[in-house]
Amino acid sequence: MASAAEQRMAAHVRPTVTMREVYGPGHVYAPRAHPQTSDWLRYGSIVLDSLTGNQLSIMGGLPAVCSAGAATPLGLALLEEAGLRTQAEVHTYRDEMQAVEIAVELAERGKKIVVQHRYPDGVLGDGALWIDARVLSYLNNKANLGELAPIANAGERRVVRREAFFDGGEPKTLPIVLKAATDLSTGGGADVVICRGVDDVSTARERFATCERLVVERFQHVRRNACLHYAVLPDGTVRYLGFAEQDVDANGVYWGNWISLGSTLPAEVVGVGREIVERGAALGYRGFVGIDIVENERSQWIVLDLNFRVNGSTTAVVLAPAIQRALGTCCLHLRRFLCEEGFPFLIAVARSALRKGWLIPLSTLDSETAGHRGQPSRLSALVIGESEEDARRIEAELAPNGLT
């Protein structure tokens, strides 16, 4: 018999906006990154496949191209038990090139393809994409942040040629932050090096060997680190969706998010993000946007990154209001778990945790079905606690049961 918590969740977990509402009819969501344009994504192939299932619970009927391992009957049944509706026409693939082939075939049938990451030129023509590929590249290239963000919130940054920085006598007062300026997709911190010492500068020289230009930014001492979420609707209207606190380590690598229901940001900070998104909308962008912005030690809010695509915490943020209505004020920790014991075991442990009221599963990946034999299966979930400390306690209890 379902617990009272399960019954409440099943009745109330509905996203504030769906993918179909944001992108409109006649579109297909194809989030798998193309292998030829993944140089700046710090993810292995199994992670890129797992990410394709992250939005299934908020599709609202929008068709999606998704790894077969992320759309298994066991995994989808787990989401349904949590009250999440996977209303999508799913086109599953077995390897990365089949993901591309399916997207191309759908485009040839007249569908507009929504991508997370730009394909190589010639694979999908501009007419096949939901927006101009050049707009997508421009908005996500870190070199252009200063042209999109308000001057007061862009921070101290400059764009320089790589050789000028490393070999031309550019000042290197440490600490500083170096970022790749590229039209290719970036993610997971692969395009960022925090330079605290000379060894870090050497690391950056090697990592950015193929870059023509670099972004050099003042190092920020961070008090708060937030990702603000927006959607640009088909008519160009910008809608603010909420925010999540970033769980980022000392090296700038993203590990998840905290959502403390009832927590707020100053209205002027939300306005900074809105101004950026409106500029993107004026250039023709339509879709989800995440703006990474931090409060530094001088109480200044500085924009660090622009993500004109679905973000890691998008699904969690658009589900959070319904969770709050169902459970009341609580602290949610967006986490990705690994399980070495096989996919059926992962499902069993996740279902037990769901029924205890410990977590809400958002997506799963059966590594065997996805073509990654011998690799751990994966779960993306919101851990539910009364506080951050309580959520950490629950995670510690899940680890001996096979979720790490």
- Residue 145: inside a domain: no
Q: Which amino acid is at 315?
A: T
- Residue 378: inside a domain: yes
Rounded to the nearest angstrom, the gap between the alpha carbon of residue 262 and the centroid of all alpha carbons in its chain is 22
- Name the pLDDT band for 272 (thresholds 50, 70, 90): very high
Could you tell me if 76 and 13 lie in one domain? Answer: yes
| Rg, the chain, Cα only | 21
In this predicted structure, the answer to whether residue 12 has a pLDDT above a threshold of 80 is: no
* Count: domains in the chain: 3
Give the model's pLDDT for residue 9: 54
Q: Are strands 238-248 and 222-232 parallel, antiparallel or unpaired?
A: antiparallel
Could you tell me if 227 and 280 lie in one domain? Answer: yes
Residue 269, CA atoms < 13 Å, CB-side half-sphere: 21
- Residue 99: inside a domain: yes
Could you tell me if 337 and 379 lie in one domain? Answer: yes
Q: Are strands 301-307 and 238-248 parallel, antiparallel or unpaired?
A: unpaired
Residue 403's φ and ψ, nearest 5 degrees, are -110, 115
Could you tell me if 235 and 330 lie in one domain? Answer: no
CA distance 314 to 228: 9
Could you tell me if 397 and 331 lie in one domain? Answer: yes
In contact, 252 and 304? CB cutoff 8 Å: no
97-123 mean pLDDT:
95
In this predicted structure, the answer to whether residue 245 has a pLDDT above a threshold of 90 is: yes
Altogether, the residues listed in the chain come to a count of 404
pLDDT digits (tens, 9 = 90+) for 341-382: 999 999 999 999 999 999 999 999 999 999 999 999 999 999
- CATH code at 197? 3.30.1490.20
Cα-Cα-Cα-Cα dihedral sign, residues 37, 43, 49, 50: negative
- Whole-number average pLDDT of the chain: 93
Give the model's pLDDT for residue 3: 54
Q: 292: closest CA among 182, 136, 148, 158?
A: 148
Give the model's pLDDT for residue 1: 40
283-298 mean pLDDT:
98
Range of the domain at 394: 4-116+312-401
DSSP output for 118-153: PPPTTTS-GGGBSS-HHHHHHHH-GGGHHHHS-GGG
